[in-house]
């Protein structure tokens, strides 16, 4: 097949279908809305008042975070079989399974009305659905485009996942207030099943022999592999483990802020000293999760765009340094009661987090090729799942010390170490060139 001068329209159908799917799978980023309703350590175990929430009881802050953490970890684990399904059977199968599991998980959480139901439904079944669906959308889109547009396309597709909080946060808040916690889970579960399954049928691979349009300018060969690595080959390189750690570093800092966005806003507003501010944000605590969702999505597209220009590692450095500085400032900003500054630092943290989710699949493809990206990225994505335990540790630190500060300082420290690692990682050497499995020499 001759080399096309531009991508076919079908490629953009796949991109926007994947984005639509992720706009549903991203319910995870609106979790702070449910956490705000469920978490009350002082009243833990007591019934939540109101007929709409009959059967539900208050949870401690750390208990309310477990469904979120487990969902993220299961999501990451299921990216591995989800990637294998995508590579072997195509994206439609994974998308359909993902939509069904996510819907079932939300409905189970709503019907069981319990901590166990949240873990089983939202945490486990929801995580399975997200893993299968997410593994289907991004690799399918990447196959249609050349390496020079790789991070931008990834950013658009995964931007849907980050942007989901823009509409799910206020919608979930409205559903909880009018139909209760159970009604919110069940209603959203049904909606997501329809959208994910229908959009998933629009995903497809390029035809055999398809070659994406070339870059108008030569790409830096030293930053990209010249072959497609299998998962087994990738696991025998130190670069794989470096990428996993880079994922942990960038993800955990954003997840800490996202998991607590509504609570952070309420606490900062309460210290503002203005009764009108306190009252407004008590009713509209969903604003910060929605704002962070918008910036999270923008960060994926924006970082994808400029990383194609300045390089992945440079983009990681810029995003990471700004975010680490913001994490160190958050405790002081909360105590100052400055809501505007809180929105600013949370926005920067959300941009960095979203940017990482555009950089990591692009780096995986740069270093190990795009042919086996479904499984290879699924393995690298384990770092994202591990990152969910940092917000959990932060909650335990808060409960044991009575201070939020230590969790943010821990998160900033991990991110700074990841930035240092990012400056050392390079693509694996291919010996055709030498032995294809040989590890690279000294870091550069």
Residue 436 near residue 367, CB atoms below 8 Å: no
This prediction's pTM? 0.78
Which residue numbers in the chain have pLDDT < 50?
1, 432-433, 435-444
pLDDT of residue 21: 94
Structural domain contains residue 434: no
Domain extent, residue 167, equals 9-215+224-422
Structural domain contains residue 296: yes
Structural domain contains residue 2: no
Residue 19 near residue 160, CB atoms below 8 Å: yes
Structural domain contains residue 350: yes
CA distance 398 to 402: 5
Dihedral of alpha carbons 81, 145, 362, 196, sign:
negative
Q: Which tens digit of pLDDT belongs to each residue from 360-418? A: 988 998 899 877 887 898 899 899 989 988 988 988 888 888 888 889 999 999 999 99
Assign 3-state DSSP to the chain and report helix, strand, coil percentages, each to 5.
Answer: 75, 0, 20
pLDDT of residue 441: 42
Structural domain contains residue 33: yes
How many domains in the chain?
A: 1
Nearby residues of 242 by Cβ (< 8 Å), 6 or more positions away: 421, 424, 425
Structural domain contains residue 4: no
Burial of 440 (0-12, 13-18, 19+ CB in 10 A): middle
CA distance 271 to 275: 10
Structural domain contains residue 177: yes
Output the domain CATH number for residue 327.
1.20.1250.20
Structural domain contains residue 433: no
């Amino acid at each position: 097949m001759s080399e096309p001068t531009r991508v076919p329209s079908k490629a953009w159908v796949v991109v926007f279908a994947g984005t639509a799917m992720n706009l549903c799978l991203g319910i995870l980023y609106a979790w702070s809305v449910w956490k705000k309703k469920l978490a009350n350590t002082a009243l833990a175990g007591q019934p939540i008042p109101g007929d709409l929430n009959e059967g539900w009881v208050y949870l401690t802050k750390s208990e309310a975070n477990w469904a979120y953490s487990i969902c993220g970890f299961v999501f990451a684990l299921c990216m591995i079989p989800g990637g294998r399904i995508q590579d072997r059977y195509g994206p439609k199968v994974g998308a359909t399974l993902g939509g069904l599991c996510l819907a079932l998980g939300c409905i189970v959480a709503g019907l069981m009305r319990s901590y166990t139901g949240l873990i089983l439904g939202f945490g486990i079944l929801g995580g399975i659905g997200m893993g299968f669906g997410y593994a289907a959308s991004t690799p399918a889109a990447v196959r249609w485009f050349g390496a020079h547009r790789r991070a931008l396309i990834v950013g658009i597709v995964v931007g849907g996942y980050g942007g989901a909080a823009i509409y799910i946060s206020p919608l979930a808040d409205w559903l909880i207030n009018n139909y209760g916690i159970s009604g919110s889970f069940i209603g959203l579960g049904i909606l997501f099943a329809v959208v994910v399954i229908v959009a998933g049928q629009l995903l497809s691979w390029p035809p055999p022999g398809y070659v994406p349009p070339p870059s108008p300018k030569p790409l830096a060969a030293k930053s990209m592999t010249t072959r497609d690595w299998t998962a087994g080959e990738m696991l025998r390189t130190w670069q794989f483990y470096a990428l996993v750690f880079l994922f942990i570093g960038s993800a955990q800092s954003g997840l800490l802020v996202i998991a607590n966005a509504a609570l952070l806003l309420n606490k900062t507003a309460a210290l503002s000293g203005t009764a009108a501010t306190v009252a407004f944000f008590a009713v509209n605590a969903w604003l910060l999760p929605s704002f962070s969702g918008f910036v999270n999505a923008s960060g994926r597209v924006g970082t994808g765009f400029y990383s194609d220009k300045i390089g992945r590692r440079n983009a990681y450095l810029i995003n990471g340094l700004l975010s680490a500085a913001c994490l160190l400032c958050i405790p002081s900003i909360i105590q100052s009661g400055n809501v505007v500054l809180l929105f600013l630092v949370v926005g920067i943290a959300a941009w960095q987090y979203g940017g990482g989710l555009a950089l990591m699949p692009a780096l995986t493809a740069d270093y190990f090729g795009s042919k086996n990206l479904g499984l290879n990225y699924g393995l690298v994505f384990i770092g994202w799942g591990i990152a969910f335990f940092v917000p959990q540790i932060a909650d335990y630190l808060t409960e044991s010390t009575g201070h939020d500060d230590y969790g943010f300082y821990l998160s900033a420290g991990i991110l700074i170490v990841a930035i240092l690692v990012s400056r050392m990682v390079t693509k694996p050497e291919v010996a055709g060139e030498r032995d294809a499995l040989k590890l690279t020499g000294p870091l550069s």
